[in-house]
Amino acid sequence: MQEQVNTYDERRPAMYATRPRTDHATSHLVCAAVTAPSLHNSQPWLFTGRDRGLDLYADLTRRLPLADPVGREMVISCGGALFNARLSMRHLGFQPVVRPFPDPWSPAFVARVAWGPYDGPSDGEELMHHAMRQRHTWHGPFRAASLPQPLVDELRDHARAEGTELYALGLRGEERGLAELVREAERAHRADPAHVAEVNRWTRASHSGRLDGVPFDVNPWHPDCTSLAGRDFLGLTRMMPDPPEVWPARTGTVVVLTTSRDTRGDWLRAGQALQRILLYAAAHRVSAAFHTQPLEIPPLRKQIRRTITAGQYPQMILRLGFAGPGRPTPRRPVAEVLSADRTWRHVSRPLNRRTTWSPASAQPS
């Protein structure tokens, strides 16, 4: 039976229990929220604590202007943080009351999460909450063992519970076609000096002291060692264009997360669904690798929508499989992303005039 991560409908009358102390409870929510994954570990989120809950903002200064010009992946990342906050609130025994994009004049204001009525967490919610610290992004080949089909079906049910679909590629032709598109996109990124520079800005030495970005030692494998090309964070392909060995059988199960439309609300739903899938998978010792490169090139994204996802908008491409212990990437401390008494007005400043992000610029592709 499908477990629900409940979101309370504030229109219903209910008995309220005493809310936990705002300072401790808010820090607890944010500490959980920041464990969500993000593009290049950019962590594009900020929070404001309130007496009745938490406000979530997108930090536009951390958007990647080349890989993510309209902010789609930034909103997806914030959706993952939002799901973690919801799940953490359930862990404390309260129903979250969520208002997405509550202020149309503030596009960076992603969601407001308020404390709802007391309601103890379910076993499934506690299972995912416990997995929050176990989940780490994987960057290499998996073990050859396939995911059990019942687990794939459960992951699909979790995606649907958040208003999205999870499409598992079951045909060799489909996976081969998607692999070609991933490779074409990654080739284009590697050949573009501006894209290479953007990746380099978010790649760092393992002991640099930075608390964001991708550490050098997180991916010791050649990025092309499985069927789906990975991002070349280390610049290995410039020194070694071909991998020493390729393991197609260790690619894992390839899935595409989709939505029926392509609005900011859909991106936010996709982020929440993604994190829910990742946590449920992690609770079953399944890791995930991200391959969003073709979704960052509009013609290739349209081709995936037309040839693979039957008209659904692809939001995320993943490999799922069994792997060893993942290496955790660092996170900025709660004190750096949480404000107790003010809103984050500076997050609305665009990075430059050419790449200003606004609701009007977020059109379907």
3-state SS of 145-203 is: CCCCHHHHHHHHHHHHHCCCEEEECCCHHHHHHHHHHHHHHHHHHHHCHHHHHHHHHCE
- Tell me the CATH number for domain 22-136+332-361: 3.40.109.30
Please name the residues in contact with 338: beta carbons below 8 A apart, sequence gap of 6 or more. 26, 27, 30, 46, 47, 48, 49
Give, in order, the Cα–Cα distances in Å from 115 to each of 22, 112, 279, 327, 332.
Answer: 10, 10, 23, 33, 25
pLDDT number for residue 3: 55
pLDDT number for residue 217: 80
Residue 65 near residue 13 (C-beta atoms within 8 A): no
SS3 at position 90: helix
Residue 344 near residue 57 (C-beta atoms within 8 A): yes
Of 19, 70, 76, 75, the residue nearest 49 (C-alpha): 19
Backbone φ, ψ for residue 111 (5° rounding): -165, 155
First to last CA, the chain: 36
- Which CATH topology does 149-321 take? NADH Oxidase (3.40.109)
Q: pLDDT tens digits, residue range 242-277?
A: 888 889 999 999 999 999 999 999 999 999 999 999
Q: What does the domain layout of the chain look like in residue ranges? A: 22-136+332-361, 149-321
Residue 203 near residue 218 (C-beta atoms within 8 A): no
Of 152, 184, 146, the residue nearest 168 (C-alpha): 152
Q: Please state, in angstroms and rounded to a whole number, the distance separating the CA atoms of residues 301 and 14.
A: 45
Q: Is the pLDDT of residue 355 over 80?
A: no
Of 47, 131, 49, 59, the residue nearest 88 (C-alpha): 131
Q: Rounded to a whole number, what is the largest CA-CA distance in the chain?
A: 64
More reliable by pLDDT, 239 or 111: 111
SS3 at position 356: coil
Q: pLDDT tens digits, residue range 208-241?
A: 889 999 998 887 889 999 999 999 998 889 989 9
For residue 15, name the pLDDT band (cuts at 50, 70, 90).
very low
Q: Please state, in angstroms and rounded to a whole number, the distance separating the CA atoms of residues 262 and 270.
A: 10
The residue-averaged pLDDT of 288-313 equals 97
Q: Please state, in angstroms and rounded to a whole number, the distance separating the CA atoms of residues 273 and 23.
A: 28
Q: pLDDT tens digits, residue range 117-174?
A: 999 999 999 999 999 999 999 999 999 988 999 999 999 999 999 999 999 998 778 9
Q: Please state, in angstroms and rounded to a whole number, the distance separating the CA atoms of residues 73 and 348.
A: 17
For residue 347, name the pLDDT band (cuts at 50, 70, 90).
low
Check if 22-136+332-361 and 149-321 are the same fold.
yes
pLDDT number for residue 2: 52
For residue 342, name the pLDDT band (cuts at 50, 70, 90).
low
pLDDT number for residue 11: 42
DSSP strand pairing (165-168 vs 253-259): antiparallel
Amino acid of residue 225: C
Q: Please state, in angstroms and rounded to a whole number, the distance separating the CA atoms of residues 145 and 120.
A: 36
The residue-averaged pLDDT of 7-27 equals 57
Amino acid of residue 11: R
